[in-house]
Chain A
Amino acid sequence: MSIIIVVLQTVVGLASLLALWRLVRGPHLADRVVALDLLASLAVGFLVLRAAQTGHWMYVDVALGIGLISVVGTVAFGSFIEHRAREARAEGP
């Protein structure tokens, strides 16, 4: 059982590295926000696996908190992108 969890943690870690690459590379702000949202989901998955590994089920509550904050952050970033473009259009030539 523990071997399976370690393998799954490796898979999730690999996925986090890929998402991190997009976070650094992303040409637009929206791409970076997508990568950040994905990273939060991957962190939730990793924490759940960690909870199953150690038997400390409080990690699930931490994962739920991370998910809550990530959703609020994504919606706020979407609103920010929209407002910024509208202001740039109003000030533009």
Chain B
Amino acid sequence: MTTLAILAAVLASIGAGFMLIAALGVTLFSDTFARLHCAGKSATLGVACMLLAAALWSGDGGVALRCCLAAVFFMITGPIGCHALARAVWRTRS
């Protein structure tokens, strides 16, 4: 196992852990805003970590570049989607 593979495994483990934390929060929290807060941040970071791990794992320049671009894309669009949903919930609260 090379150093790069170990680093990728650690990154993927961190990503999976963040995803599990996000799912636990979405399941256990009692309020819509709390659930949004949990899903918006942890899941985005988990996906980005996992894509960076795949970039290290692949050992191919094109795939690594695509994975990094996908990670940047998720870091941008995840908060946008959550913000749109949170604004809708805030404006329609009873």
Contact = CB atoms under 8 A, between A and B. Distances in A.
User: How big is the B interface, by class?
Assistant: 35 or more
Interface of B, helix, strand, loop or mixed by DSSP: helix
B7 interface: no
Interface residues of A, number: 47
Interface of A, helix, strand, loop or mixed by DSSP: helix
B24 A18 contact: yes
A82 B92 contact: yes
B32 A28 contact: yes
B72 to A, nearest CB: 11
Interface of A: 1, 4-5, 8, 11-12, 14-16, 18-19, 21-22, 28, 30-31, 33-35, 37-38, 41-42, 44-45, 48-49, 51-52, 57, 60-61, 63-64, 67-68, 70-71, 74-75, 77-79, 81-82, 84-85
23 contacts: A11-B16, A18-B24, A19-B27, A30-B85, A30-B88, A31-B32, A31-B35, A33-B85, A37-B81, A38-B23, A41-B39, A42-B23, A44-B50, A45-B16, A49-B50, A51-B54, A52-B54, A64-B66, A71-B77, A71-B80, A74-B82, A81-B88, A81-B89
